[in-house]
Amino acid sequence: MKKIVFFDIDGTLLDHEKNLPASTKKALQLLKDNGVFVAIATGRAPFMFTGLREELEIDSFVSFNGQFVVFENEIIYENTLNEKELEKLFQQAKTNEHPLVFMNDKTMKSSVRHHTYIEESLGSLNFTHPDEDARFYVNRKMYQSLLFCKEQEEQKYAVDYPNFNFIRWHPYSVDILPKGGSKAEGIKKMIERLGFELKDVYAFGDGMNDLEMLKAVGTGVAMGNGVEEAKAHADLVTSDVSDDGIWNGLKELKLI
């Protein structure tokens, strides 16, 4: 029976220093050798993990938390932010002095020339501050945006923009996604394409944006370093990412 495993990136494939543990790379190669299909499911944009895909030889992924799904280098699903709503949000955020970053599958642009919240948030992923282009979202497909504000400040936006989902991933940054969009939805699109049964679908994750995914798949695995909510939604909790978490989890599942 064919099986598929989806892996989150930050805190799951990559450790706390954004390095790929040797045991993880070895485990994924063993998975493939065993005939298991391997895919990525991340909040990152495709351009943010090109090197990792190449290193691991993975060409199927769910990106932007489910809004942009690629199977063997072919786009099979897209879900974009409504441009009129994004324009309205942009104007409101500007008034509140909350900068935004707009993202498509190729690049990202900032609504301001420089802001420390942007620098710090994206710096935690080893990315530099994007160039300024406040109108980048006009007449382009935007799969995700980032709102930069302190904790709790996004709640007013969540009330004002019911067609968007707001998911915090950093003390200064929040993902803005189309309503109902999630890694779980993206995974459903891919397994429909592949004809897999849900019981043969596995996922590893650690963050708040992994909750739906861990619940939706046949077997959800939370990393030992994961948030408590992820552990509560998982069928299995493995060790910390830096303590061979992927290797140990796959071993326990008897997939390697």
Q: Would you please indicate which residues are annotated as catalytic (active-site) residues?
A: 8
User: Does 1 score more than 90 pLDDT?
Assistant: no
Instruction: List, in order, residues 6 or more apart from 159 with CB less than 8 Å away.
Output: none
pTM, whole model, 2 decimals? 0.90
Q: CATH 3.30.1240.10: which residues of the chain? A: 83-178
Q: What is the pLDDT of residue 232?
A: 97
| Band of residue 167 on the pLDDT scale cut at 50, 70, 90 | confident
| Band of residue 36 on the pLDDT scale cut at 50, 70, 90 | very high
pLDDT digits (tens, 9 = 90+) for 202-230: 999 999 889 999 999 999 999 999 999 99
Q: What is the pLDDT of residue 198?
A: 86
CATH code of 4-78+181-252, in short, is 3.40.50.1000
Between CA 208 and CA 230 the distance in angstroms is 7
Q: What is the pLDDT of residue 31?
A: 97
Q: What is the pLDDT of residue 86?
A: 97
Nearest to 147 by CA among 139, 158, 133: 158
pLDDT digits (tens, 9 = 90+) for 172-200: 999 999 998 889 999 999 999 989 988 99
| Band of residue 160 on the pLDDT scale cut at 50, 70, 90 | very high
Q: CATH 3.40.50.1000: which residues of the chain? A: 4-78+181-252
Place of tokens 């935690």: 124
Task: Answer yes or no: CATH 3.30.1240.10 is held by domain 83-178.
Answer: yes
Secondary structure string (H, E, C) spanning the chain: CCCEEEECCECCCECCCCCCCHHHHHHHHHHHHCCCEEEEECCCCHHHCHHHHHHHCCCCEEEHHHCEEEECCEEEEECCCCHHHHHHHHHHHHHCCCCEEEECCCCEEECCCCCHHHHHHHHCCCCCCCCECCCCCCCCCCCEEEEECCCCCCHHHHHHCCCEEEEEEECCEEEEEECCCCHHHHHHHHHHHHCCCHHHEEEEECCHHHHHHHHHCCEEEECCCCCHHHHHHCCEECCCHHHCHHHHHHHHCCCC
